[in-house]
Structure 1
Amino acid sequence: MEIYLLLITLIAILIVIVGVSYFKWHAFISLLLASLFLAIFSGMDFAQIVSAYEDGVGGTLGHLIGIIALGTILGKMLAESGAGLVIAQFFIRTFGEKRLPWAMFISGFIIGIPVFFEVGILILLPLVISITKASKQNILRVGLPAIAGLSIVHGLVPPHPGALAAIGIYEADLGKVLLYSLVIALPAGILGGPLFAKWAEKKVIPEGEPTLIKVDDQFDNRKMPSVGVSFLTILLPVILMLFGTFAPYLPVNDHVISFLELIGSPLVAMLISVFVAFWLLGFRNGMDKKMIQKLIEDCLLPVSSIVLIVGAGGGFKQILIDSGIGNVIGEMSQALNLSPLVMAFVIAGLIRIATGSATVALTTAAGIVSPIIAGMSGVNLELLVIATGAGSLMFSHVNDAGFWMVKEYLGLNIKETFKTWTILETILSFGAFFIVLILDLFV
């Protein structure tokens, strides 16, 4: 019976992989079909299948959907106001020409916290191209560190959707995940960014020309935010959430602690940050109510795809739990003495390689691992989130949209993209995971 349940679980994972990569179905459809297959063939009562799946979707999205939506709005405000560009230019001035790779890495790291990877690319790449053309340097010297900064926070750091989905599925503490992920992402990003770029620029000379990205001329017609305002708006949600995390340890009365925990809760922290952005980045810099309304509407439409994937991952997890498969795999894992951190990293990595999607890899792997660890003691759920995120970054190749985006924008051919972007992502993945294993010894 145990072998049978393990076999149908593997088939369910294959349904997700084949559906996304071969049939080109949306990940939501593939995950839904895999969940139904698993429920039916594991012997669940037909009357319970739909309600179990709906409970899983609702339980996962219940506290995430508002955070994802608000995070998307905040990212859009940062991109459209020019705040991201202001921060990048600040670091370039501060670090100077000799340390441009470090300037671009820190820019990508900071800008990447509230914005999606693709948006961060559109903010930073015009600057990268203009710098390399003016200085006649290899574009990889400044381009790869910027991309590394964006990628590592996208994979590990909330409020990005993948990390939020894993936090919801594992029921981890968001404040601790935020703190640990920043500590882990920085050294891992340095390995895959400035240090790897130093090697790559000597080994790879791009044959093509980078794709020119049109910079919106709206910045010429509107006042740009100051450096201080730009930093405040980008870092405010992080600061508020850290307040909420450390509030119980402060020497203040219970009412103050409760207030700090309220404003530090992810939903309220993001809401406050969005309203601060409306004022500081919007109204003060020439945006009117109609413009802000249009920005909100434009950025919320694409979020539906991410929300569906996150919800479907939660449904898949609940089917694993209610069918009893999670307990069976958990007992087998304990008998084999497999570390949950290693298991999550490997499963996420395999799904990432097969499907090309970090978000699908994160949510599916978390759905598989969550019921397995339910009966285990001593598992650090926060580090488990980060280990899963690290696995979802590894070995990006031709089935990943990010692979083609980097190829075109940096003017690389396919071989050059494998030698730069694919290796960079794998360094980020294993670097972050190695630091997770070290931290797990102490926290």
Structure 2
Amino acid sequence: MSPVYLGIAAALAIALLLFLVMKVKLPAFVALLLVALVTALATGMPPQEVLPTMIEGMGSTLGNVALLVGLGAMLGAIIEQTGGAHVLAARFTARLGKERVGPALLLASAVIAIPIFFDVAFIILVPIMFSFARAAGHRSPVYVGVPIAGLMVFIHNLVPPHPGVTGSSTLLGADIGLVTVVGLLISIPVGVLAYVTGKVITSRRDFPLDPMVRARFDGSDTTPDERADGGAPAAVLGARSDAGHGGVATATRTATVTRTTPGPGAVLTMVLLPILMISVGTVGGLLLEEGSSAANVVSLIGQPGLALLLAVALAMYVLGVRHGWGREDIGSVMDRSLAPAAIVVFVTGAGGVFARVLTDTGIGDSVSGMLVDAGVPILVLAFLLASVFKVAQGSGTVATLTSAGLIQGTVSGGDYSSIQVVLIVLAIGCGSVALAHINDSGFWIASRFLGLSVADGLRTWTVIATVLGWAGMLLVGLLWLIVS
């Protein structure tokens, strides 16, 4: 099919998706699957290949997302329900003052985002964001969560060792160390902009929260015997009466269980443990010889799934059992955490289906080919290609690698300095951040865990991602002018 037809098909598919979700109020999971089906058939995919393609897109996405989101939600629930997030919020508030809590957490999230995938890091921080927002007197976690989400996804797309920017650096022959340094330097002013932009976005209107998230944020999703003193665990008294055949109570048993609050050091250890394990795997992979026994062991240690699994297992004991929680009680807390996580997992999987259809039908290649033939300057071309792929299929990593592959020949055949090649890589990264919308897994993770509707997710996540992506591109452009 012609590139023009494919481009129109992509635009109509995205418009239909937005219409079904925002106007028809169709569940996002169903809407994504329906639009993927219609798009596949409209662009000429053989009917017998449509469902296998959709299944492959769902499976490849869920294989990673389900594991990380499920374990991350469990770890977050343990930290929150045992009072750990409350303790951290109280400690930071006492030390920094309410007016500095937001910037302090934003800085901490930036550090965490360097070695950790956005999805994992954001989910780990959710209960802490909730407690920090309450401690600072905010009406909603959105005020704290929006700038954090924006900055973390920006770092994920521009700073190695994340897969997209590392892969594009390799394809284009860029110095990864230099990419890291320049990417971090750009992230500093972008972080300030994220804080300012987040305040502007969240101050312009109130954001109604999903009832489940509202109950969790307000602390009304737990019973009085589970929480006391603003969220910290308290002594739990329970009584049970067993009635005989005649309806008279024949036995009464009263049990007293004392629950203590974990210390901030223990809570921080549980948060930092998976981060440190993944960091060990990342650094070890760069320093050790590939294929060696040491490299293989370090690689296993650094797997996000293993890191989160170990953190969850330790948190059950360190934050739960040691402080008076029974194994059944802490298990119930973990089970309940999977209910909201399941929504995120399935919607993200449906987004993967839509992304696979857009990729396999050739829509992305067709649109990018038109830009390559138009003679656009290399830096702008890199940014636009990544933006097009980001809008078309959602994954920043796929957008980055695909864009780098398309311009690889142009870059290798051009007379570009090492710093210019680095800036081209970073321009691609900025393009993979901007214009993120409902086919982006990050959109669903941020909006669902913060309790936002689809429309409010577009007003927050899409706006701040676009602002940061374009601002980063402007900074890259200024550096290009300086070094050229």
Alignment partner for residue 296 of structure 1, among 317, 325, 334?
Answer: 334
1:234 aligns with 2:271: yes
Which residue does 1:224 correspond to in 2?
A: 261
Distance 1:96 1:117, change over 3 A: closer
Question: In 2, are the aligned partners of 1:116 and 1:154 still within 8 Å (CA)?
Answer: no
In 2, are the aligned partners of 1:109 and 1:153 still within 8 Å (CA)?
A: yes
Q: Mean alpha-carbon deviation: is it higher for 247-256 or for 286-295?
A: 247-256
Match of 1:269 in 2: 307
Per-residue CA deviations over 1:41-82 (Å, capped at 9, x if unaligned) read: 111111111111111211222233211111111111111122
Q: 1:98: Cα distance to partner?
A: 7.2
Which residues of 2 match residues 354-373 of structure 1 at below 5 A?
Answer: 363=394
Aligned to 1:54: 55
Aligned pair in 2 of structure 1 residues 16, 116: CA closer, same or farther (>3 Å)?
A: farther
Matching residue of 2:150? 152
- RMSD in angstroms over aligned alpha carbons? 4.9
Mapping for residues 368-387 of structure 1, pairs under 5 Å:
375-377=406-408
After superposition, residues 117-132 of structure 1 pair within 5 angstroms as 119-120=127-128, 122-129=130-137
For 2:274, the aligned partner's letter is: P
Query: Which residue of structure 2 lines up, in the alignment, with residue 76 of structure 1?
Result: 77
SS of the residue corresponding to residue 262 of structure 2 reads coil
Residues in 2 aligned to 1:296 and 1:19: alpha-carbon distance in whole angstroms: 33
Partner residue in 1 for 2:34: 33
In the other structure, the counterpart of 1:115 is 123
Give TM-score, length-normalised by structure 1: 0.69
Residue equivalent to 1:10: 11
What are the superposed Cα offsets for residues 168-196 of structure 1, whole Å, 9 maximum, x if unpaired? 9x9999xx999999987665444343798
**Aligned counterparts of 1:33 and 1:171: Cα–Cα separation in 2:** 32
2:75 and 2:311 in contact (8 A); partners too: yes
- Larger displacement relative to structure 2 (176-185 or 317-326): 176-185
User: Following TM superposition, by how much is the alpha carbon of 1:376 offset from its aligned partner in structure 2, in angstroms?
Assistant: 4.5
Within 2, Cα distance between the matches of 1:425 and 1:323?
A: 25
Structure 2 SS opposite 1:296: helix
**CA–CA distance in structure 1, aligned partners of residues 345 and 180 of structure 2:** 20
Match of 1:411 in 2: none
> What CA deviation, in whole Å up to 9, does each residue of 1:58-111 have, x standing for no partner?
122223321111111111111112222222222223335775554465577789
Counterparts of 2:184 and 2:93 in 1: how far apart (Å)?
Answer: 22
Deviation at 1:219, TM superposition (A): 2.0
| Corresponding residue pairs, total | 389
Q: Secondary structure at the match of 1:39?
A: helix
* Identical amino acids, percent of aligned pairs: 22
Cα distance in 2 for residues equivalent to 1:49 and 1:367: 21
Counterpart secondary structure, 2:70: helix
Aligned counterparts, 1:391-402, within 5 A: 391-392=435-436
- Partners of 1:347 and 1:34 in 2: CA distance: 18
Aligned partners of 1:56 and 1:317 also within 8 Å: yes
* Structure 2 spans left out of the alignment, 5+ residues: 113-119, 157-161, 170-176, 207-214, 221-226, 235-258, 412-420, 439-445
Distance 1:256 1:153 in 2: 34
Decide whether aligned partners of structure 1 residues 327 and 308 sit closer, same or farther in structure 2, where only a CA change above 3 A counts: same
1:213 matched residue in structure 2: 218
Specify whether residues 145 and 36 from structure 1 end up closer, same or farther in structure 2 by C-alpha distance, changes over 3 A only. closer
Rg larger in 1 or in 2?
2
Identify the range of structure 1 (381-390 vs 253-262) with the bigger mean alpha-carbon deviation: 381-390
Please tell me the residue identity of whatever aligns with 2:64: H
Kept in 1, the 8 Å contact 2:89–2:128? The answer is: no
5+ residue gaps, structure 1, are 130-138, 159-165, 352-360, 395-399, 407-416
Contact 2:55–2:353, Cα closer than 8 Å, also in 1:
yes
Aligned AA (1:299):
S
Instruction: State how far apart, in whole Å, the 2-side matches of 1:32 and 1:64 are.
Output: 18
Pick the aligned partner of 1:245 from 274, 279, 282: 282
2:71 matched to 1:85? Answer: no
Does the CA-based 8 Å contact 2:400-2:432 persist in structure 1?
no
How much has 1:434 moved relative to structure 2?
A: 3.1
**Structure 2 vs 1, CA of residues 231 and 19 (structure 1 numbering), >3 Å: closer, same or farther?**
same
Of 195, 217, 242, the match for 1:193? 195
The CA distance in 1 between the partners of 2:25 and 2:299, in whole Å, is: 43
Name the structure where helix makes up a greater proportion of residues.
1
Aligned-partner Cα distance in 1 for 2:465–2:322 = 38
